[in-house]
Homo-oligomer: A and B are copies of this chain.
Amino acid sequence: MKRYKLVLEYDGGGFVGWQRQNSGFSVQQAVEEAFAKFCGHPVDVFAAGRTDSGVHAMGQVAHVDLDKDWDTLKIREALNWHLKPFGAQALTVDEVDPGFHARFSAIHRVYLYRICDRRARPVLDKGRVWHVGTRLDVDAMRAGAAHLVGHHDFTSFRASHCQSASPVKTLLRLDIARQGDEITAWVEARSFLHHQVRNMMGSLKLVGDGRWTPDDIGEALAARDRRVAGPTAPATGLYLVRVDYPT
């Protein structure tokens, strides 16, 4: 038995999310079925994070155990051939130590959130950004984001069904920048609560459009109450960019 680490890119728009669901086709199902087709036995694939329906990945990490020693380039080719119709691809496949676990070994996660804040609908980036029809104030959003960086109780930005043992997390980075009609937010932490990035972005958008002041973010955080924070930003703007492990 050998363990392999996969780095996956996928278009969240074509899936009900990472995890198998009765409601539709998941990335996990696509990847597990692709493996079954070429290695001849059913497999379980474990991911670093269960991305929600519509959330994209540039670098989701997963691991799988196969019953014989495969050439990693052949695994990638076979996997990508079967994944081709579904908007997912394996970027790399590497053999790893049997103690490696995509989720529990991860020490750092990087997300990107993209907002298009112009009147015209996105065309080339359709399905790849959150479209906000009015111009947002990036400086105000940045001032609001400063309240969130650090070690905090993020209850106000946590989904009601979040299974994390504690609402306390350390947000290492929340950098907001504009390029033309696009606002990008780079968000990094060891781990996140369920919906944490989308809930933070939903509140920061209220700061950007002037309905909230930057300090309202700090007050929402301090309240430790999901009801006082803003709405959840759409999945379509969110990307799991990278997951890091100890070297």
Residues in chain A within 8 A of chain B (CB atoms): 9-11, 56, 58, 76, 80, 84, 87-91, 118-121, 123-124, 126, 128, 239
Contact = CB atoms under 8 A, between A and B. Distances in A.
A121 B124 CA distance: 18
B11 A89 contact: no
A84 B121 contact: yes
Given A91-B118, A118-B91, A124 B76 contact: no
User: Interface residues of A: mostly helix, strand, loop or mixed?
Assistant: mixed
A91 B120 contact: yes
18 contacts: A9-B120, A9-B123, A9-B124, A10-B123, A11-B123, A76-B119, A80-B119, A80-B120, A80-B121, A84-B121, A87-B123, A89-B120, A89-B121, A89-B123, A91-B118, A91-B120, A124-B128, A124-B239
Contacts of A11: 123-124, 126
Given A11-B123, A124-B239, 4 more contacts: A9-B124, A10-B123, A76-B119, A91-B118
A48 to B, nearest CB: 18
Contacts of A89: 120-121, 123
A227 to B, nearest CB: 34
A158 B9 CA distance: 37
A88 to B, nearest CB: 6
A76 to B, nearest CB: 7
B124 A56 contact: yes
A76 B120 contact: yes
A242 B24 CA distance: 42
Nearest to A91: B120
A178 to B, nearest CB: 16
A89 B126 CA distance: 12
Nearest to A181: B91
A58 B76 CA distance: 34
Contacts of A9: 120, 123-124
A221 B126 CA distance: 39
Contacts of A120: 9, 76, 80, 89-91
